[in-house]
Structure 1
């Protein structure tokens, strides 16, 4: 058994600590902030509790598998509710919203948007199911260190299909199956939650539609804060030591071998903790540019200059007086100018009429807001540019950010016909790309991580093992398999497999 030091107590760091501790390793987890969770954080004020990051519970099989490896189960750890509708969507200039049914009628509700193309939509959804299943079984749990499992008969049979899904964009695939512009938005927007644009994200990721339509949308009572709590508890039960207020300064490397971490505690005292293996479960750009000397970095400045950071986001956490039946648990607001909206995510200015996501967990969870109030989490994709300024509480953020949020609230109020929305807000906090950069060490202030364009997906994504430093491993959304809570759980398992010498593409059966 080894002494292991992990940097970063986000989802991937906590999960890695839990899995490695359960194997019997001695694990110390260092976290800069006083709380755990990373992007999946939590904020409370005046009886409201907000998740500050993930809000869609997707890929339930991945959660089930993680909890089983830990000797537990999802039902033991979480109280899941099925949402109905799965989500609601408003389209610019149209009064009636679209609801995706959260029941067996989900597919029929989707087809109702474009009944003339039922056959094409059916083929799209079935392809999404098949692609999801093959990805889960043959790709997501592998580090692409061995070609053996990539030539499995189930993969070879689908090779022409898989090549096609990688060679064209998600948007192109959607338009080959439906002609309705509303469907283009509904099926394409999940790319944003993968840190990208449907105009650039490979068609492979149409698999996300399977999760909404075939699997249904779930919600853990207590929100993702409860997910974080459960993983942290399992990590501690496995014997892991978690030190918060521990700001990592340097990964200790001696003759090409990682041997520990130097950090500063909350009192300003400097410490060194030694180990046989270091796992950096934080933003890869931060690791390479802040924690490693230049000669120990895998990627050059030229590589980083060409890489796609993915979009940033402006967030608003709003406590609102009174009920908001116009909004579902998940509500999307789609702007008309689709191409312009995504072009603005790579520009130098904040978007004029953005597409917006709003989570209203108080629709399903009484614990997140006082009686008679609603909890809103507003996410507005923007370019990943810290120079836009910082957010703040109760309107104290930089003027450009606060005015942008004011306009977004006005947009939501108009499209959803809630004319007094702004006047009913009693709690407000905004977060910007500058805050993601400052608080989380996010490269360029990206909200999610490097986008899933072709050259940053699957085998082309950054590895979970350092090429320059022995015994240095990586986990989190910057590395394989990618963005999202399920992907971060898998990345933690890939660390375990790397230490075991397991080069297969399959999930572990046990620890």
Structure 2
């Protein structure tokens, strides 16, 4: 039976759900607070430069293919992918870096050249990581987090110990060189927690990295947003931007409507792809599932200080993705998770899309995206932003042996306050709720409200977790639950 469904937000999970629900025959209306579709994956255009404002890593290409295949499509129907070579560089000192190749054989050789015997250890580690990937990404993450029994399969019982070990210990058992250890610990940072708090089973992220490679949509990650929006419109989804949701109206414990810019809009069901905590504040207090104390007790992924920069020249010694691990990795992690404060000597990430995509910057110029991970909820000010930009740009110049500061045409920043203001993000987090052992699958906030009928949630604070591929999956999972409810009515 056709239902009228209202979706709050237009990030990856909301776009995914919109497609699946429309495919199932429902009328779907998407309301986006900001002026453009995409949620955190919006685009910034300025002075001939183009930036992805949010996600910039395209990993797990099979998940994207699986999404489009569900609609009889392929990614190539909408956008072109480029496999990055090298995938990324990791800097440890002045002109001291390790480049990660676009294939496992070369990566094995690189490891062996740094630490004798590590090549063979990497092969064994990656075999286990691939096994975990096949179990997790091809099966477990497509389960809705309704019951702990979802995690119990023949394959997972064989790997039970991996849910109680952690990535940090595993890597250190096999590798002694600190540079190699940090490279292997890096991928799980996408899950939003320290490697020492991330279960061993999550080594599947290493297979996503070394096994499947790092890709880039030809003109940026916004290509994926544009593709999903196009697919959604082809299916019949209707979009409304500049539509701030002020309240979810509940009558007789059933979600009946939303209030958008002062106007009541009725529907049969409300699905929120917006921040979970914020969505519950749109409800009267008796209809909220999770208390402020609950949210305060959760481990959240970091916030970020971001800079979008246009340079008036081509830069030297750069690659598309660059990680700067020339300071203490563990200390920065402590300053995010254990003793939240602005880091003394932050690690940072730099992305130069114009290395790959010539449309990202005018001829002879370079576009750049710098990111410092920060603790969510800390104080944010223009003064602090400028202070930290000074720190990282000086190190960038030293580490890459070039002068660039005087070549900046423009610079825009985005930090905790902006995440709160533009995305209603809890404490200004950038990536959602971390995937620790106690925040995995059925232990995450539920896709379906337990207090309000016909109210559902999707996105990085619910199942399966943070990241773009999980967001696509989250949209599919919640759509299945919604259709199951309608079939049983």
Q: TM-score, normalised by structure 1?
A: 0.91
Equivalent residue, structure 1, for 2:96: 96
Q: Could you say which residue in structure 2 is the equivalent of 1:447?
A: 430
> What is the CA-CA distance between 1:107 and the residue it aligns to?
3.1
Report the equivalent of 2:384: 400
Report the alpha carbon displacement of residue 150 of structure 1 after superposing the two structures with TM: 4.2
Deviation of the 1:493 alpha carbon: 0.1
Question: SS state of the match for residue 308, structure 2?
Answer: strand
Which residue is equivalent to 2:410?
427
Are 2:3 and 1:2 equivalent residues in the alignment? Answer: yes
For 1:242, which of 234, 239, 243 is the aligned residue? 239
Change (3 A) 1:149 1:446: closer
* 1:148 Cα deviation after fit: 6.4
**Cα offset for 1:319?**
0.9
| CA contact 2:43–2:53 (8 Å) conserved in 1 | yes
Q: Please report the RMSD computed on the Cα atoms of aligned residues, expressed in angstroms.
A: 1.6
Task: Specify which of 433, 436, 446 is matched with residue 463 of structure 1.
Answer: 446
Show CA shifts across 1:109-161 (max 9, x none): 244332333333222111111101100232101013356664443333x2xx2
User: After superposition, what is the alpha-carbon deviation per residue over 1:303-350, rounded to whole angstroms, capped at 9, x for unaligned?
Assistant: 112111221110011111222231111111003422211011133532
1:394-449 superposed Cα distances (whole Å, 9 cap, x missing partner): xxxx111112112111111111212x111111121111111111110010011111
Counterparts in 2 of 1:119 and 1:106: CA distance versus 1, 3 Å:
closer
Which range is displaced more, 121-130 or 49-58? 121-130
User: Which segments of 5 or more consecutive residues in structure 2 lack a partner in the other structure?
Assistant: none
Q: Residues 18-44 of structure 1: CA distance to partner in whole angstroms, max 9, x if unpaired?
A: 221122110111111011111111101
Q: Distance in 2 between matches of 1:379 and 1:193?
A: 13
Where does residue 477 of structure 1 map in the other structure? 460
Offset of residue 473 of structure 1: 0.8
Distance 1:39 1:110, change over 3 A: farther
Q: Equivalent residue for 1:395?
A: none
TM-score (norm 2): 0.95
Please state how far the C-alpha of 1:94 moved relative to its aligned partner: 5.1
Equivalent of 1:251, from 232, 240, 248? Answer: 248
Separation (CA, whole Å) in 1 of partners of 2:441 and 2:115: 33
Match of 2:211 among 186, 209, 214: 214
1:215-364 matched pairs, under 5 angstroms: 215-264=212-261, 270-289=262-281, 291-346=282-337, 347-364=339-356
2:36 paired with 1:52: no
State the alpha-carbon separation in 2 of the partners of residues 497 and 348 from structure 1.
38
Choose from 471, 481, 486 the match for 1:488. 471
Q: Distance in 2 between matches of 1:147 and 1:272?
A: 38
Q: Alpha-carbon deviation of 1:95?
A: 3.0
> Which residue matches 2:20?
19
Q: Is the 8 A contact 1:107 1:213 kept in 2?
A: no
In 1, Cα distance between equivalents of 2:112 and 2:483? 47
Aligned residue number for residue 505 of structure 1: none
Q: Is the 8 A contact 1:461 1:480 kept in 2?
A: yes
Q: Using the TM superposition, give the Cα deviation of residue 201 of structure 1 relative to its aligned residue in structure 2, in angstroms.
A: 2.0
- 1:371 to 2:363 alignment: yes
Counterparts of 1:288 and 1:499, CA distance in 2: 19
CA distance in 1 between partners of 2:361 and 2:300 (Å): 34
| Cα distance in 2, alignment partners of residues 452 and 145 from structure 1 | 16
Give secondary structure in 1 for the equivalent of 2:142. coil
Deviation at 1:178, TM superposition (A): 0.6
Distance change (3 Å), C-alpha of 1:108 and 1:463:
farther
What is the match of residue 128 of structure 2?
127
Cα distance between partner residues in 2 of 1:385 and 1:146 = 31
Whether the 8 Å contact between 1:111 and 1:121 is mirrored in structure 2 is no
Which residue of the partner structure matches residue 394 of structure 1?
none
Worse-matched range after superposition: 322-331 or 357-366: 322-331
The 1:107/1:213 distance shift into structure 2, 3 A limit, reads farther
Alpha-carbon spacing, 1:194–1:154, altered in 2? closer, same or farther (3 Å): closer
Q: Which whole-Å deviations, capped at 9, do the CAs of 1:175-219 have from their partners, x for residues lacking one?
A: 111111001111112232222221222222221111221111111
Select which of 193, 202, 205 maps to 1:205. 202
Change (3 A) 1:349 1:147: closer
Confirm or deny: 8 A CA contact 1:80 1:221 kept in the other structure: yes
Whole-Å Cα distance in 2 between the matches of residues 164 and 41 of structure 1? 40
